[in-house]
Structure 1
Amino acid sequence: MRWPLRKEKIRSRSQPWLRAKESHSLPEVFGSVPVPTEPSFWAKLLAFAGPGYLVAVGYMDPGNWATDLSGGAKFGYELLCVIFLSNLTAMVLQHLALKLGIAGERDLAQACRDAYPDGVVIFLWILCEIAIAACDLAEVVGSAIALQLLFGLPLVWGCLLTALDVLAVLYLQHRGFRYLEICVVALILVIGGCFAAELSLSRPDWMGIVRGLVPHPKILTNPQMLYVSIGILGATVMPHNLYLHSAIVQTRQYQPTSEGKREAIRYATFDSTLALGIAFFINAAILILSAAVFHRSGRSEVGEIQEAYRLLSPLLGNPLASILFALALLASGQNSTLTGTLAGQVVMEGFLSLKLRPAVRRILTRALAILPAVAVIGYFGEEKTTDLLVASQVVLSAQLGFAVWPLVRFTSDPAKVGIFANPRWLSLIAWFITWMIILCNGKLLADILLPVSLRNELYHFLHIPIS
């Protein structure tokens, strides 16, 4: 059966998209940030700085904390190389996302809508909405845990309070997109400052850190290390960030010429790479802190955020240690909710070309995250929050391949991005990353969802170490 909208199997390069683009990404802020025309590197760098930091918060959200804490407590500094390689992967994928937004003049959701038949578009939209809701769920629960640790607030009330971020996003975006970016950068500085202080208190083994950055075969041969490593990869690369980044880079008033786009891609890549470097420091700091405090003291079973909070101050002998940890968690959760609601708008408008008032869209997005969290916590109790975080990461892992595949395909096609199509070496790297993500996340899902007997038979057939 043929798709009704597809007129031919292969379209010519003069008609690269199935549909014409109907509107700009985030039209209320499209091209709203001026770019200076004078040839000043620092002035232009400052003009393009911002979108990378909005994207980077997705790589340090509460969903990452459990895997980083578990990896450090169980294996010390040995999985630092996994965080480093995951971050390099993120840098490549975010470069492709911003290139699609600038050179292809579409965000990833719009590109999928304009390139694929209706049935595929609806399928991808549903998957993406579920992934955004799952990501929001982790952020809501993380913020609620932080409020409970700092102020003793019940988790249900903490989840409900996170709805106030809708008002913050609306207010900041109404003032101008730059205000939203400044708020996000300020919260990142709070997170980074808290963990810098934590590292100074924990006194880690710096030579162990250096050794941990070097990949070693034991990660592949040790089933437990492999399992945690796959979890770190699955929690690091967030699918909604690819949709978000390809949209928010278009808030800059760059010249729509080949040279103007080339310059915009160059500066936007610098911004993204620097921001993701900060995200690497924060993720690495969580693992290093866990290794220096829990692994060193023989508490390798620590994997829950609440347990880490309770043990930090007694083990370090400083009451500030736990407070700084919870404060960083609160900043991380709030930061991620700010960008998550923005990503929800990009996805709905891009896939469906459906325009809703920003307030309605953000309230809907927040409700989809808060209601499951409140329902699970209210019915099963607060002890199920960790299971809720794990479940959210499973959903994200399942959706990631469906975002990365079209991104690599579009940016490798001159019919979509013109002269800015990926060179062969970059295409090879991007497709390698794509297949590694699909295979690693497939194993993570199999480990969690398949019955043990069936899973072991499958791994034995594929010669995969059994965890």
Structure 2
Amino acid sequence: MGTGSGPESPDMAWRREAAAVSLPEVHRSIFVPNKAPFWRKMMAFAGPGFLVAVGYMDPGNWATDLAGGSKFGYTLLSVILISNLMAILLQHLCVKLGVATGRDLAQACRDHYPTPVVWGLWFLCELAIAACDLAEVIGSAIGLQLLFGIPLVWGCIITCLDVLAVLYLQNKGFRYIEALVLTLILTIGGCFVAELFFAKPSLTGVLLGFVPSTEILKNQEMLYVSIGILGATVMPHNLYLHSSIVQTRNFERTNEGKREAVRFATIDSTAALMFALFINGGILVLAAAAFHFNGHNEVAEIQDAFQLLSPTLGVGVASTLFAVALLASGQNATLTGTLAGQIVMEGLLNFRLKPWLRRLITRAIAIVPAVVVIGMYGESSTTSLLIASQVVLSMQLGFAVWPLMRFTGEKAKMGEFANPLWIKILGWSTAIIIIVLNLKLLFDTFVPESIRRPFYAFFGLSI
């Protein structure tokens, strides 16, 4: 029987036995000392959380955060905060699933659902990964253009070269990937610390922005950007990714060892996601302070933000730091996108491609529409593509969150690690909020205004 079996990890509740371990080339490859001080064990578990956090600060976030900050000031900071809290909870559940069952979320879906459902989940998840990769391609291409003057189309094509970097690092060892990711994250963070110092935002305004406002639900444009922020923050493929890479740690496979692994891995992911909250909040605060309160309320284009930052803030290096952070963000996200694509295909379909081929296919799916749209509609279309990609991501969230909540709530699958009542309430509330918001977006997009207006009026809302 596979790694999900055994007395500590009940296997009788799955339709299929676990076929293989997740990411076999790095599974249990990082040693965890059994008897060591807290900080030494913390260092052994540190890393996967920051790989997950990369997806929460990728270029797709930049477009939605810039649009939200420049148009609505600090108001949507509350959306970023709530999204981040949702992410912390969901990533904790991913940790529990991977540690307790020895399965990643993709494998768990395959071992639980009938084949037609599994294929549907695979298609939706691949669509989400392609949307995420599209944001990474465009973000990296824009960064290259702003820093070196490379045309966007060529910048998109150049991003194919990151395949070599990913393959090289994966062959060297998983710690090398984690080290590179952390270096790029610190680069992004350093750039935004400097940007916020230059922008001098209102501390009172920022604090008030974290207080939720009912206006977000009533204002259609604000809600659209909010759902984009939600899609950019809580990413479906990150749920598959985290449940897999937490298994790179070679911890004791006893109940006590698993409890310890869950505790340390949750600390790791929570700390990393709080850093992601700072980055996402920083982008929105920068846009609000530099643009919204200076009369530039329509800055949604990343290129426009780059051009306006230095003149508005009166600091010549501000625009350059912005572009450096963007390029680091785009390159960082490609590393985790590669792993997520591999995990989803192997886990859901039990089908393994060579990593370089898998990466090229995924990148081609992202590059082709980017090049076509830029060629047809010009470079001004890139931000619309970025925001649309995040809305596509948010549409897929329910299909990843629902099975995650279901599996982690079943004692037959999780044993003593099954969710307690309070986590079930929080988790299912999160899932329902995500699904309802996405249904509202679909309703507003495809239902004629003549039908929507009386419907919303009945509930005291406007469109």
**C-alpha contact (below 8 Å) 1:143/1:334 kept by paired residues:** yes
1:287 aligns with 2:284: yes
Residues of 2 paired with 1:379 and 1:229: CA distance? 28
Q: How much has 1:358 moved relative to structure 2?
A: 1.5
Q: What TM-score results when the alignment is normalised by the length of structure 1?
A: 0.94
Cα offsets for 1:55-95 (capped at 9, x unmatched): 00111111111221122112222221211111001000000
Which among 454, 462, 465 is matched to residue 461 of structure 2? 465
Q: Kindly provide the amino acid, as one letter, of the partner of residue 31 in structure 1.
A: R
Q: How much has 1:177 moved relative to structure 2?
A: 0.1
Residues of 1 paired with 2:412 and 2:255: CA distance? 15
Q: Kindly provide the amino acid, as one letter, of the partner of residue 45 in structure 2.
A: F
Name the structure 1 match of 2:40: 43
1:362 aligns with 2:359: yes
Name the CA shift for 1:390/1:447 in 2 (closer, same or farther; >3 Å): farther
Q: How much has 1:223 moved relative to structure 2?
A: 4.3
**C-alpha contact (below 8 Å) 1:76/1:288 kept by paired residues:** yes
Q: How much has 1:375 moved relative to structure 2?
A: 2.0
Residues of 2 paired with 1:447 and 1:390: CA distance? 17
1:381 aligns with 2:383: no
Name the structure 2 match of 1:338: 335
Cα offsets for 1:337-374 (capped at 9, x unmatched): 11001100000000011111111111221111112211
Q: How much has 1:458 moved relative to structure 2?
A: 4.7
1:296 aligns with 2:269: no
Which among 108, 119, 139 is matched to residue 116 of structure 2? 119
Q: After superposition, where does 1:29-178 map in structure 2 within 5 Å?
A: 29-178=26-175
Residues of 2 paired with 1:274 and 1:14: CA distance? 32
Name the structure 2 match of 1:422: 419
**SS at structure 2 position matched to 1:378:** helix
Q: Kindly provide the amino acid, as one letter, of the partner of residue 461 in structure 2.
A: P
**C-alpha contact (below 8 Å) 1:137/1:392 kept by paired residues:** yes
Q: How much has 1:460 moved relative to structure 2?
A: 4.2
RMSD: 1.5
Where do 5+ consecutive residues of structure 1 fail to align?
1-12
Q: What TM-score results when the alignment is normalised by the length of structure 2?
A: 0.95
Name the structure 2 match of 1:23: 20
1:390 aligns with 2:390: no
**C-alpha contact (below 8 Å) 2:228/2:387 kept by paired residues:** no
Which among 261, 265, 272 is matched to residue 268 of structure 1? 265
Residues of 2 paired with 1:390 and 1:448: CA distance? 15
What percentage of residue pairs aligned between the two structures are identical?
64
Which among 442, 449, 462 is matched to residue 445 of structure 1? 442
Q: How much has 1:404 moved relative to structure 2?
A: 0.3
After TM superposition, which residue ranges in structure 1, 4 or more long, deviate above 6 angstroms?
A: none
Cα offsets for 1:180-215 (capped at 9, x unmatched): 000000000010000000000011111211222222
Residues of 2 paired with 1:459 and 1:340: CA distance? 39
**SS at structure 2 position matched to 1:383:** helix
Name the structure 1 match of 2:318: 321
Q: Kindly provide the amino acid, as one letter, of the partner of residue 128 in structure 2.
A: A
Name the structure 2 match of 1:371: 368
How many corresponding residue pairs? Answer: 454
Q: How much has 1:391 moved relative to structure 2?
A: 2.4
Where do 5+ consecutive residues of structure 2 fail to align?
1-9
Residues of 2 paired with 1:235 and 1:446: CA distance? 20
Residues of 2 paired with 1:113 and 1:400: CA distance? 18
Name the CA shift for 1:174/1:315 in 2 (closer, same or farther; >3 Å): same
Q: Kindly provide the amino acid, as one letter, of the partner of residue 284 in structure 2.
A: L
Name the structure 1 match of 2:245: 248
Name the structure 2 match of 1:238: 235
Residues of 2 paired with 1:43 and 1:392: CA distance? 40
Name the CA shift for 1:451/1:386 in 2 (closer, same or farther; >3 Å): farther
